[in-house]
Structure 1
């Protein structure tokens, strides 16, 4: 007897609600900005996490468009992904089942959003648009769960720096998009110390490592009190470093999200918590 694949079950249950989801109107006011821990292809095998992400998407009106910054596209100056219809995906991972390399996420044309974003960035900074670069897995994997109908125009923005101050400023420039029904997302992972995980973390035989728990607790408390200065000084203040983030690209998209907040120092709301393979999947939204 063949066991149903969790993503197939998720989509069967979620697609009707996703298609019927009410679309944002100006009367709704600004959409929140999100920071999410995106997982990787194994997210599609974690039913409870998929439900959490989908319920989060359902708690808001369906956005008119999505602008997402992923840990997996570090490029300066700021670059934009291809904005056409059904742009091919980037399968930027290895060692997984073949089905992951055959998945699609054919979103509608996002050219209007690309023009809008380019116009919002400093006139003296060149914005490069890649005509063929699609969404990488930091974008399409969580969005395939959150918006399985693939009916929202989606554009990816590169992560041009890891400097919190510059990323906060970038988010602030993008903030007006929220009033236009655009969902701004920073996509990373609240802890990402993959080199320091053991086989027991992947099998579930061991609980989260101390460095992952400690960093997660510290970040949760700083986010809850809106302490942007502490979050920005993570290299010096955060427990669990550098194990929690031996490289920081999965953490720093948070600052684009905070920069896009109406008040970056207002408390962030945790929407997803817990651990996956020992890593913190904490995800938050800001108003």
Structure 2
């Protein structure tokens, strides 16, 4: 049966890199679904880029391979940089219109769809795992923003996995670590917990006329983060605003870095070294992405 997602994807010009990605994904080996025998799924932090991620064949391939190296999850819970809130909230668990929260890109991205299955059971479980006294609000009119649907279209282009988005309720690393810890039991149930941001995000300071130039502030911040993640130094990472080189340029606002703490909090051992998966730069910004056991 042709879905609305597939129908919209069919309108992407055949020469567009995303159309090529869809062809390669369709030819890939069948993706095995998670079962309880697989045990706990990893949690991820990924740099989600912008809609033109879906024009970068290499980046899409990295994300798709990453997804296919793991069992297909029962559901995905995304904490995206693009939905900050004062309280904890979830998107409507029934498929809704996407949030096209960007501008200035090829209109092809505003015609894309990602109509995933109902995630009501996951919404219920999110409410159940929250600490006593924590109310989870449901934003019935809100769909997935581009911090969720853009990378997921590369990773799971069939749009056949339920997806729920959880808001980013604070910038405080300690509170986000505790939020991740509350979500940890979901990993035993086949839920992929995903923090979505960008390892460096200094958009005002990018040299757009020289997209291959990596600014010093971006490379130095990335190297600092990679070293701290490699030794599991959560305390160092938590003090990024004081200790990270180039932080004022790499993160003039911090919402693209802080989802990392939800991922680390969801780890079985938050202070264990992470497993790096994606490295490199896009228009000077670090794509560093990783998973935790």
Question: Into which bin does the TM-score normalised by the smaller protein fall?
Answer: over 0.9
Q: Corresponding residue for 2:36?
A: 26
Give, in angstroms, the shift of residue 98 of structure 1. Answer: 1.6
Q: Corresponding residue for 1:250?
A: 256
- Tell me, yes or no, if the aligned pair for 1:201 and 1:208 is still in contact at 8 Å: no
Give, in angstroms, the shift of residue 100 of structure 1. Answer: 1.0
Q: Corresponding residue for 2:3?
A: none
How does the TM-score come out when normalised to structure 2? 0.94
Give, in angstroms, the shift of residue 76 of structure 1. Answer: 2.0
Give, in angstroms, the shift of residue 16 of structure 1. Answer: 4.3
Report matched runs for 1:41-56 at 5 Å: 41-56=51-66
- Tell me, yes or no, if the aligned pair for 2:114 and 2:149 is still in contact at 8 Å: yes
- Tell me, yes or no, if the aligned pair for 1:82 and 1:133 is still in contact at 8 Å: yes
Q: Distance in 2 between matches of 1:221 and 1:251?
A: 15
Q: Corresponding residue for 1:218?
A: 224
Q: Secondary structure at the match of 1:171?
A: helix
TM-superposition CA deviations, 1:127-186 (whole Å, max 9, x none): 110112100000000000000000000000000000000000000000000000000000
1:278 lines up with 2:292 in the alignment:
no
Of the three residues 156, 159, 163, the one matched with 1:150 is 159
Report matched runs for 1:1-287 at 5 Å: 4-17=15-28, 20-84=30-94, 86-202=95-211, 204=212, 207-287=213-293
Q: Distance in 1 between matches of 2:88 and 2:37?
A: 32
TM-superposition CA deviations, 1:12-53 (whole Å, max 9, x none): 1113437x2100001111000000000111101111000000
TM-superposition CA deviations, 1:36-77 (whole Å, max 9, x none): 000111101111000000000011000000000000000121
- Tell me, yes or no, if the aligned pair for 1:35 and 1:187 is still in contact at 8 Å: yes
Stretches of structure 1 that go unaligned for 5 or more consecutive residues are: none
Give, in angstroms, the shift of residue 123 of structure 1. Answer: 2.8
In the TM superposition, structure 1's runs of 4+ consecutive aligned residues that sit over 2 Å from their partners are: 15-18, 199-202
- Tell me, yes or no, if the aligned pair for 1:81 and 1:156 is still in contact at 8 Å: yes
Q: Secondary structure at the match of 1:145?
A: helix
TM-superposition CA deviations, 1:223-258 (whole Å, max 9, x none): 010000000000111111110000000000000000
Give, in angstroms, the shift of residue 200 of structure 1. Answer: 3.1
| 1:127 to 1:3, Cα distance in 2 relative to 1, 3 A | closer
- Tell me, yes or no, if the aligned pair for 1:33 and 1:286 is still in contact at 8 Å: yes
- Tell me, yes or no, if the aligned pair for 2:14 and 2:20 is still in contact at 8 Å: no
Q: Secondary structure at the match of 1:142?
A: helix
The total of aligned residue pairs comes to 281
Q: Distance in 2 between matches of 1:104 and 1:147?
A: 13
TM-superposition CA deviations, 1:73-95 (whole Å, max 9, x none): 001210000101x3210000011
- Tell me, yes or no, if the aligned pair for 2:148 and 2:196 is still in contact at 8 Å: yes
